[in-house]
């Protein structure tokens, strides 16, 4: 984990209530796709955790949804604005898993952390399939970006206005995979748990006080004891999760 001052390079809407921001700063603390940052926002006591879409040397890209006071303030940030950020939090996805045909499943604002994961899996020579789930066509984002990487992308919309009509689990049944990685809402996770035919990893969201394991505010029970979502997670293996 590193702490530093990051400068906003760009910050723009890419879908209704969804923004993409590029931040210049130290990325040395980032070690795995699926990690997150914790942003200090002026006037608010607790930092706001935001998942990482992509990063390279000197720049972090995040995609976030405005859901409260913190993210609404963040959405107003302009190029040149600066934020105090903790970077490289959480354990991230394990790309060393013995998989040749990984399936990435993202729902809504849970999609962003799968992008870096997708790129790294493709670089390792994996045949990657991606399922993106939305409520309707107007909410879709990142489909072209995943396709541009070389992944086989399927989009599911609840109302059928684009792609497959239904949920991500409806799309999963038509895909050949030997491991899955997923990030999204809890209801989607429970449906995936009832549908998936292989092992996999889930990335969980939780309210966090500190973001680095000190306050124990985001603890959850697993089959192997209590774990902190911010430090021991957010990624957990399917086999350890208590539903």
Same domain, 50 and 121: no
- 242 Cβ partners below 8 Å, 6+ apart? 221, 222, 223
Same domain? 108 vs 188: yes
In a domain, 188, yes or no: yes
CATH of the domain at 70: 2.40.30.10
Assess if residue 228 is contained within a domain. Answer: no
Domain count along the chain: 2
User: Is 217 domain-assigned?
Assistant: no
Answer whether residue 222 is part of any domain: no
d(CA 241, CA 165): 29
User: Are the C-beta atoms of 126 and 99 separated by less than 8 Å?
Assistant: yes
Do 80 and 110 belong together in one domain?
no
CA distance 190 to 188: 5
Domain that holds residue 171: 102-203
In this structure, is residue 28 part of a structural domain? yes
The whole-number pLDDT of residue 211 equals 60
Q: Is the pLDDT of residue 128 over 80?
A: yes
How many residues appear in the chain?
243
Shared domain check, 114 and 83? no
Query: Are residues 40 and 131 part of one domain?
Result: no
Answer whether residue 209 is part of any domain: no
- The C-alpha atoms of residue 9 and residue 22 are separated, in whole angstroms, by 5
Does 214 reside within a domain?
no
The model's pLDDT over 153-193, given as tens digits with 9 standing for 90+, comes to: 999 999 999 999 999 999 999 999 999 999 999 999 999 99
Arithmetic mean of pLDDT, 197-207: 88
Same domain membership, residue 108 and residue 85: no
What H or E segment, with its residue span, contains residue 114? helix 113-123
Label residue 229 by pLDDT band (50, 70, 90): confident
What is the strand order of the sheet 164-165 is part of? 164-165, 152-157, 129-134, 102-107, 179-183, 200-203, 235-237
Asked if the structure places residue 59 within a domain, the reply is: yes
Last residue of a domain, one of 38, 60, 89: 89
**pLDDT per residue as tens digits for the range 42-93:** 999 889 999 999 999 999 999 999 999 999 999 999 999 999 999 999 999 9
- Pair 85, 106 in one domain: no
């Amino acid at each position: 984990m590193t702490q530093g001052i990051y400068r906003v390079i760009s910050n723009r809407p890419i879908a209704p209530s969804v923004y993409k921001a590029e931040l210049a700063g130290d990325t040395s603390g980032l070690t795995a796709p699926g990690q997150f940052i914790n942003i200090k926002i002026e006037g608010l006591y607790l930092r706001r955790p935001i998942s990482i879409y992509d990063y390279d040397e000197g720049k972090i890209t995040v995609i976030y949804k405005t859901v409260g006071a913190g993210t609404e303030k963040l959405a107003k940030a302009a190029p040149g604005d600066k934020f105090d950020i903790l970077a490289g939090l959480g354990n991230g996805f394990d790309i060393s898993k013995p998989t040749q045909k990984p399936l990435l499943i993202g729902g809504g604002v849970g999609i962003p952390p799968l992008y870096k994961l997708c790129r790294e899996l493709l670089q390792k020579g994996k045949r990657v399939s991606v399922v993106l789930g939305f409520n309707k066509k107007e909410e879709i984002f990142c489909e072209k970006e995943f396709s541009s990487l070389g992944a086989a992308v399927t989009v599911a919309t609840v109302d059928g206005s684009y792609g497959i009509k239904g949920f991500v689990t409806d799309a999963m049944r038509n895909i050949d995979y030997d491991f899955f990685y997923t990030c999204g809402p809890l209801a989607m996770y429970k449906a995936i748990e009832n549908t998936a035919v292989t092992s996999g990893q889930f990335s969980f969201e939780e309210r966090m006080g500190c973001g680095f394991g000190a306050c124990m505010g985001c603890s959850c029970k697993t089959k192997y004891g209590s774990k902190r979502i911010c430090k021991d997670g957010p990624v957990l293996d399917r086999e350890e999760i208590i539903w």
